[in-house]
Amino acid sequence: MSHREVVVLSVGGVRFVTRVCTLQQFPESRLARMLSGDDREFKQANGEFFVDRDGTLFSYIMDFLRTLQVSLPPDFSDYQRLRREAEFYGLYPLADLLSREHLLKPRLEILEVRFSLREMQAFFRIFGSCSATVESLAEQIAVFTGQQAGQSWNSPFPSQKPLLPLPLERPSHHDIAFQCGTDCSAGDQYVARYVSIKPDSRKLINGTNVLGLLLDTLLKAGFRLLSTRTVSSEEKVECYSFERTQRPAGLTLTVRQAPGCSRVAQATRNQVQKGK
């Protein structure tokens, strides 16, 4: 790579090495004009451009120029200062994104699992504050049914007979309801319901086992168990409350050519994670 393609900047004493084309992502910005010597704010000495600004915040500026994405750590709080830096460098699309703090800050999700046992059947209902998370769980959970001869609560595995999938109950976008276990139909025949939760491939009929797998799945997904309480002692309804701090989907700039200007940047939301 030619030395003409590489630029060295010293921002507040922090040294950055990058390519010319990276600084030219937005030709109207001061960083692009700096390369042609049109901005006196940037002094050049010993082959390096010196900028008397915050070097720590400039690392986020460089990351943005390289990826056209705003990726900030969960504990980041200097939105106003970083926005001021973006305005100083003439990166107004970035400044506009930073003005939307509510899209960049991590969000707290609340999720509740209600579980009840009635004879040989178990009933589940999941409530979530984030509908996307509930949709994701609905895709993981599958219920199967079939008539089994002599099957009971103590038979954890289905027979060789084919099982039919059952749709989950969806009272709203924020909750799921399903059940497992056996129900006597006629003679020694039982209607059995099995539950499978991906990525686990087992089909479980015992409600306690399903509950254990469901709670383990939520913990692996980053949820934290807050409390366990009995909602109704008569109906044996237990409630498990969870919370999770969910990082927002990344914000991306789509840069395209447009007549009348060198480039136009439009802020769009990039759905990196489902469950936002």
What residue segments make up the domains of the chain, in order of their start? 6-105, 108-150+160-246
**Does the pLDDT at position 161 exceed 90?**
no
Give the tens place of pLDDT for each residue, 197-226: 999 999 999 999 999 999 999 999 999 999
**Does the pLDDT at position 267 exceed 50?**
no
Give the tens place of pLDDT for each residue, 149-158: 554 545 545 5
Q: What is the pTM of this model?
A: 0.57
Instruction: Supply the CATH classification number for the domain 6-105.
Output: 3.30.710.10
Give the tens place of pLDDT for each residue, 101-146: 666 677 789 999 999 988 889 999 999 998 989 999 999 999 999 8
Phi, psi of 261, deg, nearest 5: -155, 165
Give the tens place of pLDDT for each residue, 79-101: 889 999 999 999 998 898 888 76
- 34-43, 60-69, 216-225: which has the minimum mean pLDDT? 34-43
Instruction: Supply the CATH classification number for the domain 108-150+160-246.
Output: 3.30.1410.10
More reliable by pLDDT, 269 or 252? 252
